[in-house]
Every structure is written in C-alpha cells, then in structure tokens.
Chains A and B, each alone.
Chain A
C-alpha cells in the first residue's frame, strides 16, 4: 500500500528547511517522502500554488483518525549518536492520541483530553494531567492541535508560521511564553494535504528530535 513519490523531495528541500544538520535533513526528507499515502493527494491538482492556513486546517480537521508507524531520532548534544526510537502512533479526532514504542521495555503513552496515562511494561499505570508540566501541554497541543486542525488551540499556545505548498507544507509553531521558549524553541510540523508526515522538535539547549510518520489511513 506504500507509494513513494520521490519528486516531492525537492519541494521539501526548498520549503524553508533551516537546520544545518545534513544527516537529519536527509533522513527526515527521505522518511517524509516515504510517507505520503493519502489517496486523495493523488487527485489533487492545484497543490503547487501555495497554502492558506485556513484551508490547511480545514483539510486536517477533515481527517477523523490517523496513525501508523513512526521513527524518531533524537539528536542530543550530550550523546555521540542520535537515539533512534520506533513505534506506532494513533490519533482519533478530536483529542485522543497514543504513542507506543516497539521496544518491549518501554512505556506507552495515551492522551485523552487533558489526561495522560503512562502504562509501564509491567502493567502499572500512572495518570497525570498534561497541565502538570507546561512543556508537556505544549508538546501535546502542537501535535494534536495540528492533527485536529484546531487553529484556536494552536494560536493560544504558539505563534504560527506556514510555508510551502498544500502537498508539502511546513508549519512552524513557536511558544508564546518566554518561560516555555527557554525549554522549547519551536515545533515544526510537516505534511502533505491533510496528513502530517513529520514532527521536528527544537529544544532550547540546541537539542533536536525528528519524528517521521509512515502514515496509513485508519
């Protein structure tokens, strides 16, 4: 069912990628290329003529469920090599999100509304609110808000900056509060039509992580 569209790669490269990390760019680009599988994307002709925020949000909000395998790479200054994590994410409109890792020793994370449930490998569960840490809410809202096409929520937490085209857009979210900005410089979402293909997190200390999604419609 996977369809690759190598020609999009160039579009991505021109759409404002600023990082100097060539490896990271390459990886995320390649992964993003390998992802776009929403059938409607094929038939959409006018996707090379710039992108409007409202239109993008509408497209995103039309998707009621999404998910699939992901690969996450964390580039941390304290590490010699990136941490590579693989797993699955699930999203259901409007506010359900689940992240599981392939590593059987890892916890899984499930968000419903404001509640985050962490399930440990031994079956223990811990419930907490995403309000318990400002950065946690920022992480959740950036990703979930984008998937839901919830402009209001996104604007409440972030300054938005949209670039690219409908079949290769990039939405940069910058935290509004300085305290948060100290820990989280920005979150950059990339996608194609109503599908998010990668999430890049830029931390305050220069660390960075990129999660690329290999989406399948649910």
Chain B
C-alpha cells in the first residue's frame, strides 16, 4: 500500500521533470526533409544538396496583379530597386536591362568570342552582303530593333545572335520594359535569396521583405518557389500540430467525462497519457537529436490508443475487491495488447526513413509507458474498493441480450471476402511512390509554380546530366561536345531543350577557335568594301565594325572567374559546380519525351564522366524499394505478433479469434480507401499496423469471457469508450492539411471502427473454464 503511494509520488515527480525537460530541451523541426528518403548514390546526394541549397532552391517568383499595366510596370521597377537595395537577395530580375551597362559593354566587346554564330564563313563577301541586305530591310521596318544603335559596329548582329542563344526557348513577355506573364495581366519578378533554401527563418525574412517592398495592399501579390513552399509547409505543420493537439486533448477529456462522470477519474486517467507523450518526445529527442513537428502531431494521437489502458482498468474495477486485484486480473491482457502493438512499430524503426523511425520510436516509448503507468502508477492513486459510476443502457443491453450469433459473424467474414475480391480484381498498382504527394502544398499551387518557372526559363531539375571533369575548362569542353548531341536530340524531338554553362561561357578552346576564324583587318576591309558595292550604305560606314573585329582577335578569352558577381556569372556558376576538388557541369533538360532513347543515345559519353539522373524516377524507385522493404518487415512482424499472442494465450483457437477481426478490418479498410481513390503510401502501411495492434486489443478483451453479465456490460462499456476516443482522435487527425497526417487519420479511424465491429461480432468468449486467469 505504502509502496504503491511511493511509486505514484515518484511517478508524478518524474512526469513533472520529464515535461520540463521536453519543454526546454527538445528541438522541434518542421522542414520536410525528414520525410524524404535518403539519397542512395553520391550523385543523388550531390543533386539533393544542390536542390536544397543550390541557386534554384533560392529562387522566389513574385507576381503582382490586379492593377493597370502601367501601374504594375512602375511597381515592378520600384519593388526590384527596393529588394536590390535591401541586401537579402543576390539577384532580382524583372526584365529591366538584363545586364548593367558595364556588363553589357563587356559582352558587346566579347561578342565575337561568345556568339555561337561566329565562323569563318560569316565574314565572306556573300555572307556580309546578305547581312547588310537584312539590316537594310530592318531599317525599313516601322518596328525598330533594339540593336539599331549598334548597327555601325555590329552589322552581322552578333550581339543579337548571342542574346537569342542565351534566351533559349523560354522567355517571359516583356511589356513596358518589364516581364509580364503570358496573359499580360501580372508582372513577374525573379528574386534569388542570399540565404540557402533550407534556412527557413531567412527565407521567411526574405518573403517578409518582398511583402514590405510591395507595400500596396490593393495589389495582388503572389509568391512561389521552393523557399516559399518550405515556409508554408512549416506554417501548416505548426498550425496543424497545435490545432490537432488541442482538439484531440479536448475530445479525449469530454469522452472520459461523459463516460465516467468523474473529475477524479479524468485526472487519474490523464496521467498515463501525459506520461506517454512525455516519454515519446524524450525518446525521439534523445535518439534523433530533434523531433519533427509532424511526429509530434502524430504522437499526440498515441493518446487515442494509450487512453485504452486506464479505461480497461476503470471498467474492470470491482466493488468487492481491492484495486490491486482487479489490476492483476486484466494486466496480462493489457500487456499482451501493448506488446503486440509495439512489435508492429518495431518493424518500422529499423528502416531508413528518418520520419518513420521517429514515428515508431514515439509510439513504442509512448504505448509501453502508458501501459506501465497504468499497471504500477494508478493503483496508488485510486481509492480502495472504488467503483466508477456509469450508466450505459447500450452496454447493459449488450450484456444481457446480444449474442453475436453465426449470422452476424458470417456477414462480417463475407464482407471481408468481398473486400478482398475487390482488391484482388484491381489490376492498377495501389502504391503512391511520388514524394511530392507528401507535401502539404496543393498540386494546383505546384503546377502554377512550374508554369511560372517555365515562363521565366528557370530550368526544371527533374532530368539532369552531370559531367564530371578535373577542372572547369575540361568540364566546359565536355559539355560542349555533349551539346552537339543534345542539339540533335532536340531536333529529333527526344528532348525539348537543354541548359548548360557552356551556352553562356564557351570553353577557352572554343573562344580561341572563334578568334582564329575572324578575318585579318586588311582582308575584312577588302571583303566588306566588295559587299558594300551596290548597296545604299556609305563606304566607310562600318569602320567601327572593322575595328571591333580587329580588337576581338587579340582579346584574352573570358574565364569563369572574370564573371564573378555578374548576372551572367550567376548563371554560369549555377551550372558549373565544384565538388570534392573536381568540377561538375550540370546540364538540365526540359521536355524529356523519351528517357529510354535519351539514355541510349548518350551512352557513348558515359565513359567520359557523364551521368544521367532522372530525379523523379530515381526518387520514385527509392520510395518503391523502401516501401517493399517495409512491407516485408510488416509481414514478418505480423507473424511475430501471432507467435507472441499464441505464447501469451496458449490457445491456437483464441489466437485466431483475436487476430481475425483485425485482418478483416484491415482488408475492408484498404478496400474503402481504394474505393475513395486513395493511393497507398508508407504512411497508410504504418497506420494499418496501428489498426492491427488496436484490433488485437479489442479482440483480447471481447474474447476474455467475463464471468457475469455485469462484468460483460462494463467491458463493453470500456471498449465503447476506447473506440469512441480512438476514432475521434484519429478523425481529428484526418482533417489535417498535411497528407501524411490525413492518411494516418483516415486509415486508423476507419480501421478502428471496423475492428471494433468485427471484434464484437467475431471474438467470442473462450469456453468458460478458468476464464478469470486467462488474459
């Protein structure tokens, strides 16, 4: 008796300490990276890092709409100027001059080294005359070309050829000197943060700076991009964790109050639950160094399961016996239920998915703690010979009259068979392996983002070629060789377009080749004079052109470091990376139509350091591998659970009765999910495991074979409270905007309700002999 009081006191003190620790020592993380599989190969790791920290991950597309074009164009310029001055962004592009005057001047000077059109034939008499005729035609046009003032220096329009080649296919619409969307309704700005994409606080500050720079509340401001999505995800996770946690707690309290109408039982019943949460948080924090917000939200729902243990105890308290004895009577059943549920999670904890491992750890620590607290802590807190007051007409009716006969049980089994037949008949694979489906960002928002990125010519990073080389020049040369094949692939329609550093900055070798193809001054002078004959152009009008070509012949080739800090340099650097002392040219492909053909056509480059990554397919495969791996583990763990049950019950028949409701519930649950069009992810799998665990619990209690009708009524009442609280808590989870929590919530709520029904109809009491000792 005193020992029990002491234990309860120690427990309460420990619980208080644990909560303080959890409150002050635990780190909560909210980014989505815990919910991505780990990269398998060094190349994937490189790419994942690039995706998380690289220039593309630092891009935010800003759209402004809802005002006149004139006002929007003006605002675009103001916002860009404010953001550039603010220092949080390395680059803010809005379609105003792409290059500043100094950069433009240098590019113009280097046009004969950078323009892909430069070849010896370009300066023959015929080519020159053709160019002059073209220019004459342009002079006649009422629509002036931007390079008209450069005509005397650049009659072959080399600057234009260079800029056109850089622009590629995608290019936003330019109206009133700034970028507009294709409809001409919104201005587009592209802002690149100084901070990396995964620094969510910095990303949030950057987004706040954008909001402040716009200032005008009447303008429709839109922001899109990896950083924006990361911050939005975090906010959703935070808000959902708080909302779901509070709602779940309130619902649990209400259910307990209504069921037992006792403040005392409520307070006592809450203690194992709080202990479970504290233990879960601390265990995850100790093992992983931090806890993810989603895991925390999920952990709160462990309450929905843990609440069963004190309820079982309350409903088995007997007027005629001390609490200790009632506890000893049901403990084997609670223990068996807790152990089998925990075993299901154990299967998950050995996997390679940080988020799932945290889930499993939280659940195991929480459930075992709740069970242990119920066993050793509650006895000291409940008064002797205390019987909770309750009245439940349904329970009484069940205890007295309902005898689940063969008909009802048969119907349940029949429903399971129909569901199974339905599942087998679906030939479409039920698995969702797309990692994007885990993100709380709606697909429509993602699609809009892709659309904006395409308009702005931001490369999509799903198909990437990597060329490894010992130095920058070798990487550029290798990608130039590759570009020849890629151009052919574009022409053949295998890919839509490609983007690489060498497009902006050719290798030194190529620049030298172009220099060599430039004619000597005397020769150019002679050929030009010949080309001019018979045209209305004045002799000598193109002396600046002759001078420019002569200068270009002796320019030192442009190197990557010459471009540091310029907007062109940024483009080059985002596609030319240094990795482990070596260099990697990153070539992004867009509009890939035939990955197979692409792979085989590029095979000859493979031994020259080329790697083709199909990120979407690769992560899909990673997810699928992982899911298969996890499924195998789940199957084994179900077998292990059956074994443990059999050892605990020492009856094959009762083991079967206890397990059967769970199996039927899982099959019908999956069938219902499939009927609603849901694809199954890993998180559904975890949830089904939880359903099996809970259903075993129900099976055990329904099949206990309670001695009298009163006890049967109380057991039934207890189980009703259990199922109500569990279904409500997981039903609350199902309202989350996070697909992960939504999946878990729906699956468990439906599965648990089915389990209860199946267990009630199928788990018949064991034959009366020695029923009080049987768990």
Answer yes or no: are A and B bound together in one complex: yes
CA distance A79 to B173 in the complex (A): 33
Indicate whether A65 reaches chain B with its CB closer than 8 angstroms.
no
Residues on the A chain within 8 Å of B184, using CB:
114, 129, 131
Question: Given A106-B140, A129-B184, are A80 and B149 also a contact pair (CB < 8 Å)?
Answer: no
Q: A120-154: which residues lie under 8 A (CB-CB) from chain B?
A: 129, 131-137, 139
Pair A133/B537 contact, Cβ less than 8 Å: no
> Which of B174-182, B353-361, B609-617 faces chain A?
B174-182
CA distance A117 to B146 in the complex (A): 18
Residues on the A chain within 8 Å of B140, using CB:
74, 83, 85, 106
Which of B69, B146, B149, B536 sits near A131, CB closer than 8 Å?
Answer: B69
Main secondary structure of the interface of A (DSSP, over half): mixed
Pair A139/B536 contact, Cβ less than 8 Å: no
Pair A118/B175 contact, Cβ less than 8 Å: no
Pair B139/A76 contact, Cβ less than 8 Å: yes
Which of B73, B143, B177, B536 sits near A116, CB closer than 8 Å?
Answer: B143
Give the Cβ gap from B145 to chain A, nearest Cβ, in Å.
9
CA distance A80 to B140 in the complex (A): 15
CA distance A139 to B538 in the complex (A): 27
Pair B537/A136 contact, Cβ less than 8 Å: no
Convert A104-117 into 0s and 1s, putting 1 for each residue whose CB lies closer than 8 angstroms to a CB of B: 00110100001010
Pair A131/B538 contact, Cβ less than 8 Å: no
Indicate whether B541 reaches chain A with its CB closer than 8 angstroms.
yes
Pair A79/B537 contact, Cβ less than 8 Å: yes
Residues on the B chain within 8 Å of A85, using CB:
140
Give the Cβ gap from A187 to chain B, nearest Cβ, in Å.
13
> In the complex, what residue of chain A is closest to B144 when comparing beta carbons?
A135
Which of B144, B176, B177, B538 sits near A79, CB closer than 8 Å?
Answer: B538
CA distance A28 to B715 in the complex (A): 108
CA distance A78 to B173 in the complex (A): 32
Pair A134/B176 contact, Cβ less than 8 Å: yes
Q: B124-175: which residues lie under 8 A (CB-CB) from chain A?
A: 136, 139-144, 146, 149, 151-152, 173-175
Residues on the A chain within 8 Å of B146, using CB:
133
CA distance A81 to B537 in the complex (A): 8
Convert B268-293 into 0s and 1s, putting 1 for each residue whose CB lies closer than 8 angstroms to a CB of A: 00000000000000000000000000
> In the complex, what residue of chain B is closest to A106 when comparing beta carbons?
B140
Pair B149/A83 contact, Cβ less than 8 Å: no
Which of B144, B151, B538 sits near A136, CB closer than 8 Å?
Answer: B144
Pair A83/B536 contact, Cβ less than 8 Å: yes
* B contacts, CB < 8 Å to A: 69, 73, 136, 139-144, 146, 149, 151-152, 173-177, 184, 536-538, 541
Give the top 8 A-B pairs by smallest Cβ distance, nearest first.
Answer: A131-B175, A79-B536, A131-B176, A78-B541, A129-B175, A80-B538, A81-B536, A80-B536
24 contacts between A and B (CB under 8 A): A74-B139, A76-B139, A78-B152, A78-B541, A79-B139, A79-B536, A79-B537, A79-B538, A79-B541, A99-B142, A107-B141, A109-B142, A131-B69, A131-B73, A131-B184, A132-B173, A133-B143, A133-B146, A134-B176, A134-B177, A136-B144, A137-B176, A139-B142, A205-B149
